[in-house]
Amino acid sequence: MPDTKGRRRRSSSLIYLEPPESLEQRSDQAALPNLNANWVNSKGAWSIHIVIIICFKIFYDTVPGVSQETSWTLTNISYMAGSYLMFHWVQGIPFEFNAGAYDNLNMWEQMDNGDQYTPTKKFLLAVPIALFLLSTHYTHYDLTYFTVNCLAVLAVVIPKLPSTHRMRFGLFSSQDD
Amino acid sequence: MDLQDVQALVKDYSATLSTQFQRLPGSAIIVRYIKNSYQNDPIRSAIELILFLFALKYLLSPSYSMQRGGQVELTDEEIDEQIEDWQPEPLVAELTEEEQHELERRPTIVGPTGPKVKLSNGRTVTNLASNNVFNFIGNDLLKERAIATLRYYGVGACGPPGFYGTKDVDMKAEADIANFIGVPDCIIYSQAFSTISSVIPAFSKRGDIIVADKSVNYAIRKGIEISRSTVYWYEHNNLEDLERVLADVEKTQKRKKKLTRRFIVTEGLFEKSGDIVDLPKIVELKYKYKFRLILDETWSFLTLGRTGRGLTEHLNVDPNEIDMIVGSLANSMCTGGGFCCGSKEIVDHQRISGAAYVFSAALPAIISTTISEIVGIMKANPEMLIALRENISIFRAAVEKSDGILECVSDIANPVVMIRVKPDYLREKGLEDGEDRLLQDIVDEVQAGGFLITRVKTVGNSQSEKKAKVVNGKVKKDSDEGHFMPCLKVYITVAHGKKDLERAGALVRSSATKVLGRKK
């Protein structure tokens, strides 16, 4: 019979923690370097975030009829949405190197083997916060813009917290995953 | 000190501090920013401040690992102690009594193999223990052709098929097999054993579902293990149980949105028990529950069917209905390697993801040309199979007598005749333990009478294998492996005369009676 303990979640709970990997799974994870997550530590991977943000800003500025406030807010939202999708939504690895041993982990959890407070993780947390502070400043503290920006930044900051590591939320997934 | 003095000092200090601060580059921006951001809204400012402080705290926290129970710190003394305590096991474990016994009784063939072989003790015996069903080993045409190929192509490719290894004859051999079985495409692997254990993981990955027969052979078991798939086992050859498992899988899958690949894995002709599966029924179930079927024809290829095309021909099933047919070229074919055939997509996928195809050297050209030759011989001489069936039935009739103590458990078309002592008789005599020993005695007795036969010797039966299965004090269970029927195995070939087979059958019967009669 298949191993059902661990992956089965309680039918009523909205939150569940991804259980630790089995020995076999861990050895598969270690079989080859995780090319999906290792690049975040390499040269240029940090500065590209700044470059992308500037590109977003320039792009929204060129669109006619967009005010400075809207432009900053759109830049903020686009960056947050992109980084949420990349680091927290997509699970697994696109390559066939680890026999699917990372299938249940998103990229943030794969980075640095799940270690917390590593330099890259610190940088990737600081960037959205700095961007948020900047964009609220340039939207001249308008309440609507502030609320939108604030929600966007919370959406990417909360999943980065060590206490939400491997945590999953699900409304309708009552069955085992 | 007076209060005024203190005030003056504080004033003084704060004045220097503010001038120092204003001297800092960019300090004006910060001041403007803070002035701006306050904007008479303490709550919003508080949120921003909290966020800023949080980021600061995060940046200053020391990093730590989430891997729990990773390494244990040991002191030098503890390390020394561990080294002292460590008793290395011998690389090769000492032979157990049974293994020693088996080793002593193992016959050694001197010279070439064939229907008659010479043993190291100088006797010539009739060989009923090798898988030379159509005596291709003694075929002069094949030998000539092989020598001609050797002169032209040399020995081996010394490179994987995707990397200088593929030759024109290899591609022809693949096409010949595909054409022989009646499917669009075929891929040839270099080892029979690693064919199926490479085909399964090429398609089924972690999270996918495999439903397999409980008594599939060791190679399939390894393939399933490597694939990391979720396995469900069904009772050996029990299609009702298979249907129950399939329905169960479908039910649990329906509730989940995620779709996975799903496979049924079975042997066509079972290595362990010698029986065949009800293929039409399995094909029906596979369509009903939307599974793919991987059929291992290792033992049935060339031996079953009107012209040796395997189980599909034997049971009149269109081979295109089966997603992957895997077979061995090392058994009845007497060459080497294995094949997997199916649709073009199935085969092409394996050319880059079948581990044993990608990472091992291609077959020598001699083998490829021999494969093509043999396929030609099989197509041209379907009467060989009629002769084979006749030989099988002659032998079986000679072994099985209604009042005898032996029974043949293998399928009537299976050239590997598996004979066991009737369980009732064993129970009556109280000889259920040590059946292997009894069978070995029978084998020896038959050998003394001039016929070489063998018995079931399965990987996993030996003591060291059993020991290896115990991991961390727990017995590793991949399925119930209890289907090792202690049996005599007799390989019938077309090269044996009817008289010989009748005599052999009678000899097996009388030897069994003699050996068992000796016990009480």
pLDDT band at B376 (very low <50, low <70, confident <90, very high): very high
User: Which residue among B41, B68, B255 sits closest to A20, beta carbon to beta carbon?
Assistant: B68
A-chain residues near B353 (CB < 8 A): 96
C-beta separation of B356 from B219 below 8 A: no
B238 falls within a domain: yes
The answer to whether residues B104 and B251 belong to one domain is no
Q: Are residues B101 and B170 located together in one domain of the fold?
A: no
Same domain, B110 and B223: no
From chain A, the residues in CB contact with B38 under 8 A are: none
In a domain? residue A16: no
Would you state the pLDDT for residue B97? 82
Percent of chain B predicted with pLDDT > 70:
92
Confidence band (pLDDT; 50, 70, 90) for B124? very high
User: Is residue B364, in this structure, part of any structural domain at all?
Assistant: yes
| A15 lies in some domain | no
Answer yes or no: are the C-beta atoms of B362 and B167 closer than 8 Å: yes
For chain A, positions 31-90, list CB contacts with chain B under 8 A. Answer: none
Q: Is residue A100 part of a domain?
A: yes
Q: How far is CA A52 from CA A82, B197, B311, in A?
A: 10, 46, 61
Residue B208: half-sphere exposure toward Cβ, Cα within 13 Å? 24
- For residue A159, tell me if it sits in a domain: yes
The residue among B353, B380, B407 that closes a domain is B380
Give the pLDDT band of residue B103 (cuts 50, 70, 90).
confident
Which one is predicted more confidently, B217 or A8? B217
Which domain range does residue B402 map to?
97-127+383-458+484-517
The reported pTM is: 0.80
The structure tokens 């945590």 sit at: A167
Nearest to B189, CA basis, from B201, B174, B169, B179:
B174
Whole-number pLDDT of residue B460: 52
Q: What is the DSSP string of A162-177?
A: GGGTTEEE-SS--S--
Lowest mean pLDDT among A26-30, A61-65, B289-293, B330-334: A26-30
The answer to whether residue B81 is domain-embedded is no
Most trustworthy range by pLDDT among A27-31, A42-46, B330-334: B330-334
| Domain enclosing residue A58, as ranges | 43-166
The domain that contains B314 carries what CATH number? 3.40.640.10
- In chain A the first and final C-alpha atoms are separated, in Å, by 17
Same domain? For B207 and B341 the reply is yes
Task: Compute the distance between CA of residue B297 and CA of residue B213 in angstroms, rounded to an integer.
Answer: 14
Structure tokens belonging to residue B359: 């990472």
What does the pLDDT read at residue B67? 67
The continuous run of DSSP H or E covering B491 comes out as strand B488-491
How many structural domains comprise chain A?
Answer: 1
B36 contacts chain A (CB < 8 A): yes
Nearest by CB: A100 against B55, B65, B205: B205
Of the candidates A114, A117, A130, the beta carbon closest to that of B61 is on A117
Q: Report residue A95 as tokens.
A: 């390559």
Residue B371 — pLDDT band, cuts 50, 70, 90?
very high
End-to-end CA distance of chain B: 117
CB contact under 8 A, A117 and B206: no
Q: Is B200 domain-assigned?
A: yes
A20, A96, A137 ranked by CB distance to B33: nearest: A137
Inform me whether the C-beta atom of residue A104 falls under 8 Å from chain B C-beta atoms.
no
Are B274 and B299 in the same domain?
Answer: yes
> Which residue has 């009042």 as its token pair?
B403
Give the one of A1, A125, A136 whose C-beta lies nearest to B55's C-beta: A125
User: For residue B190, is it within any domain?
Assistant: yes
Q: Which chain B residue shows the shortest CA-CA distance from A123?
A: B59
Angle of CA points B160, B163, B165, to nearest 5°:
55
Write down which residue in B323, B348, B380 finishes a domain.
B380
A35 within some domain:
no
What is the model's pLDDT at position B470? 45
In a domain, A172, yes or no: no
Residues from chain A that touch B256, judged by Cβ atoms under 8 A, are: 175-177
Residue range B21-55, pLDDT digits in tens: 888 887 888 777 777 766 667 788 888 889 899 99
Q: Residue B382: pLDDT above 80?
A: yes
User: How far from B66 is each of B173, B248, B318, CA to CA, in Å?
Assistant: 54, 37, 54
On chain B, the residues whose CB falls within 8 A of the CB of A134 are none
How many structural domains compose chain B?
A: 2
Boundary of a domain, candidates B380, B408, B424: B380
B32 touches chain A (CB under 8 A): no
Q: Which of B193, B415, B213, B219 is nearest to B304 (CA)?
A: B415
Is the confidence at residue A156, as pLDDT, over 50?
Answer: yes
> How many whole angstroms separate alpha carbon A63 and alpha carbon B346?
50
pLDDT at B184: 95
- Is the pLDDT score of B418 beyond 50? yes
Q: A115 to chain B, minimum CA–CA distance in Å? A: 4
Helices and strands, number each (H, E), in chain A? 7, 2
Q: Are residues B206 and B325 in the same domain?
A: yes
Point out the residue among A103, A126, A143 whose CB comes nearest to the CB of B206. Answer: A103
Q: Is B71 on the interface with A (CB under 8 A)?
A: no
Same domain, B147 and B269: yes
Closest-CA residue of chain A to B232: A1
Per-residue model confidence (pLDDT) at position B483:
57
- What is the average pLDDT value for chain B, to the nearest integer? 87
Chain A neighbors of B70, CB-CB under 8 A: none
* Per-residue pLDDT, B70: 58
d(CA B362, CA B171): 11
Q: pLDDT tens for residues B356-368? A: 999 999 999 999 9
Please indicate, yes or no, if residue A161 is contained in any of the structural domains. yes
Q: Are residues B248 and B119 in the same domain?
A: no
Instruction: Please indicate, yes or no, if residue A116 is contained in any of the structural domains.
Output: yes
As a whole-number percent, the residues of chain A with pLDDT over 70 amount to 89
- Tens digits of per-residue pLDDT, B148-197? 999 999 988 888 998 888 999 999 999 999 999 999 999 999 999 999 99
Q: Is residue B291 part of a domain?
A: yes
Q: What is the CATH number of the domain that holds B448?
A: 3.90.1150.10
| B77 within a domain of the structure (yes/no) | no
